[in-house]
Amino acid sequence: MIRPTSVIAIDGPAASGKSSTAQLVAEKLGFLHIDSGSLYRAATAAMLRAEKDASKWTEAAVLNAARPVELRAARTSFYPLLDGRAIEEEIRGPDVTRNVSRVAQMPRVRTWVNDKVRDAARSSDVVVDGRDMGTVVFPDADLKIFLVADSRERAARRLRQRGTPTSEQMLDDETIRINERDARDARQTVPAADAVVIDTTGLTQQDQVEQIVSLSKTRSG
């Protein structure tokens, strides 16, 4: 019998550490990581290349612009390509970050992302991260995790990641930006009824990874 692939779904709000945690969990378990947000970002980057004025964007135009986006498997993760090229830097830039929530509200774009993610999960064991992986995309996931953290702590992590010196004012500003993004993404950022909620506010990344790996071993054993 063909063994169905395993899915670990990790959801949570912006800067809750989902993607980096999911990547490390995937590496520890020998699974592949899929960052579903990277596809919303890739569609946004593709649309920005076609039209800078986001107020003119329609769902049909975004879907058309996103046609050359594909999800490619590497050694430990899937990553998006646009016209056959890696676009990691472009999708993490401020223009994409400012406009991606708008694209993520479009129902047919959500279907496009969900189909791509489910396709990728057909051939490998995966750790997927996003907002609705445990609720909409993989309601039967083997393990569902929902990461939460205080918004000021998430802002501090974001600033630390950038590696530049920070002030209290910068921390205040980043906290406001994170709260605004939470509000924009609130509709799809809801834990599944059977998700394990982990508050990472006082946890190190290693603690989070170990908790999830040990939960996954308990489930599969």
Q: Which residues contact 147 (CB under 8 A, 6 or more apart)?
A: 10, 11, 12, 16, 17, 18, 21, 197, 198, 200, 208
150 sits in the region (left: phi over 0; alpha: psi -120 to 50; else beta) called beta
Q: Which stretch binds ligand DC (CB under 6 A): 67-75, 124-132, 143-151, 213-221?
A: 124-132
80 binds ligand DC (CB under 6 A): no
Considering only the stretches 32-40, 51-59, 142-150, 193-201, report the one whose residues sit in contact with ligand DC under the rule CB under 6 A: 32-40
Instruction: Give the nearest distance from C-beta 131 to ligand DC in angstroms.
Output: 4
Work out which of 41, 144, 154, 157 binds ligand DC, going by CB under 6 A: 41
Residue with smaller CB distance to ligand DC, 80 or 217? 80
C-alpha–C-alpha distance, residues 40 and 9, integer Å: 17
Q: Is 185 in the site for ligand DC (CB under 6 A)?
A: yes
Question: Using CB under 6 A as the criterion, what x/- string covers residues 150-179 for binding ligand DC?
Answer: ------------------------------
Q: What per-residue string of b and e applies to 22-37 under the rule 16 or more CB within 10 Å gives b?
A: bbbbbbebebbbbbbb
Among 131, 144, 154, 157, binds ligand DC (CB under 6 A): 131
CB of 75 to ligand DC, least distance (A): 21
Kindly indicate which of the ranges 61-69, 96-104, 138-146, 208-216 contains the residues binding ligand DC, using the contact rule CB under 6 A.
Answer: 96-104
Regarding 40 and contact with ligand DC (CB under 6 A), the answer is yes
* Cα-based distances in Å from 92 to 65, 95, 116, 143: 18, 9, 20, 28
Kindly list the residues in this chain that would bind ligand DC in the complex (CB under 6 A): 14, 36-37, 40-41, 100-101, 104, 130-133, 185, 188
